[in-house]
Structure 1
Amino acid sequence: MSNCVRTIAHYDLDAFYVNVECLKNPQLKGKPLLVGGKSDRAVVAACSYEARKFGIHSAMPMKLARRLCPQATIISGDMEHYSKYSRVVTDIIRENVPQFEKASVDEFYVDLTGMDKFFGCIKYSQELRHKITKETGLPISNGVSTNKLVSKVATDEAKPNGELQVPSGREKKFLAPLDVSKLPMVGEKTTALLRQMGVMTIQTLSEIPVEMMENLMGKNGIELWRRANGIDDTPVVPYHEQKSISTETTFESDTIDIRFMQAQLVKMTERIGFELRQQNKLTGCITVKIRYADFNTLTRQNTIAYTSADHILLKKVKELFTKLYDRRLLVRLIGVRFSHLVPGNYQIDLFEDTTEMIRLYQALDSLNYRYGRYLIMRASGLL
């Protein structure tokens, strides 16, 4: 099986947030549309292809986006709605393929290796794409190749609402003429560095001796060279929603002190919220657990819009605790669990938050990471 040529399909929902909004209001189709906060200090969470023609992109300050395209329609994001559609697409894929990886709320890898014996991988990947669009109304693009890297780039080239196959043996030739910025993991800084070296295309990058790339960037240089040559051995990691991050605290003595318990909940939520962001994950389900002095244990959970933002998580945790707690009984233990985890970062939630809010979260996490996880926390967690 190790010598078998793999067949990996990559699917990406086109302008996901924008197209969900267009399902809710079809009159928005074909217009410059921005999803995000409406204040000048907010950021663009997503934008339509019509808006991108004006130079607008995600994570751009909303003030600048409005200046570039004054006629754009701005809509506050509805992460709960987007999460619902993400789950619907996930269920369709789960029901139709043997193994898939959910790379983000709107992006999937499917391992179709060996299915040629039964169906024909290309035909099957096309049928799955049409099925998703038919059942959800959302446009989706996909690429098919021998590895995740090339299939992802193929999807990007097929957008919007298209499909592209890169056959075995043609991976390097397909990548060669593309701009170096189109390689996954090549950000603005790396692109700028490569262009200073005169490297504009992936072909030029692939022709640089690997030893030189290692001297320049260390291990990252080797990986960049491999990618430029169309080499990627990373597996499709099976998606399991039951994976979770959790913590619980058993008190030294049973208590009915609600302020004390709420302070513990704040501390616990911040702790695993930090872990969530360090792993670049979002949670779609929160569970709160209470064990009373008589060892009777109760839990309550709530499916939520995907997030990793403490201020949202804390609000939900407190709501669940209030619904669960019976004030007449002594409490022995409380716990918090985040499940339905998917890859993603905090910025995905920022429809009403400002660039300052993003920087605050990044700064706090950076300090906690460097000097100890719980160096900085909310005052309400210190009781």
Structure 2
Amino acid sequence: MRPRHIAHLHLLADSLGEEGYAQVLEVLSGLTPHVQAFPPDAVQLDLTSALRYFDRGPYDIVQMARLRIAALYGVRTSAGLARNPMLAAMAAAASPPGRTTRVPGDQEAVDAWLGPMPVVTLPGVGRATAATLGMYGLYTIGQVAGVPAATLQRILGAAPARLLAERVRGNDPRPVTPQAPAAHLTADLALDRDCLDPLHHRRAVIGLVEDLGHRLRTGDRVTGRLTLTLRYADRSATTRTRTLPEPTAHSPLLAASALDVLASLGLQRARVRGYCLTADSLLATTDATRQLSLDAADARARAAEAAADRARRRFGPGAVSPAILAGRTGPGGSGGSGGPSGSGDPGGLLRR
């Protein structure tokens, strides 16, 4: 069996937030598809399949992951690298901030590393179990590892003893399991003050479309339906849903539908305080069908979009944005959509 290389990262940030944590997961998913979230401040990666792709050793890939997180979001990490999830998590817990602790894969090295640790540091060993073992003079992992299996069963019982006997030897067969895809994706923008300008509304919606489109493409998914919700100064809200002609993650097509929904609301002088755009009816890209197009402009637009996505993965979400979103900030927005700089066809507005 091919040896596994598991990394466990602790995110050392006081206020990363749900959105920041999701962005970190997205960056790490660019290194390996096997990413398991442990919110709010930890994540585990199976690097085994990434070694050949990057032609790097597991330690180098961990350092690459840490460097990307620090460069894009200013988040420092401590990391552990080992042959299974349990050892990687323990190594990360033992790592000082900004450092990576690597546990060698051979059994002798694992025994030497685990041996001096208190038995309570093993996952699943609580204070009650540690106290029971302590009554027999068993305080460290190495001491427990030296106890015959029959003796350990008399102390703890058959099932707990078998599990503990595996863990004190550093064995953990569990896989790194990516989370199930979300049933929907949502992007929203809250304003600090009322907005009455229709062009600001348009600009805000296009910003939300860009966010959703990028996240859909990164996750290899498409959406078949968009829902736009606008919140007003009097705390009321309006919601409209639009089924798309075909499932897509292409931002110009999403923008066309979202802006049609916006226009159908007939806002006129409505005092808008927030926008929310939700994509549901999600499908894997491989499960969706797309009408073939002979339009060369469509092919160029999709190629430009793919290039922009690569730039975002490398340099961060704000590396590339539509021309309409460049330069100016919005009317008190707390999510990044700002004043308009143009109008017209959404495909034209979304030029890179």
TM-score, with length taken from structure 1: 0.45
Greater relative contact order, per chain length (Cα 8 Å cut-off, separation 6+): 1
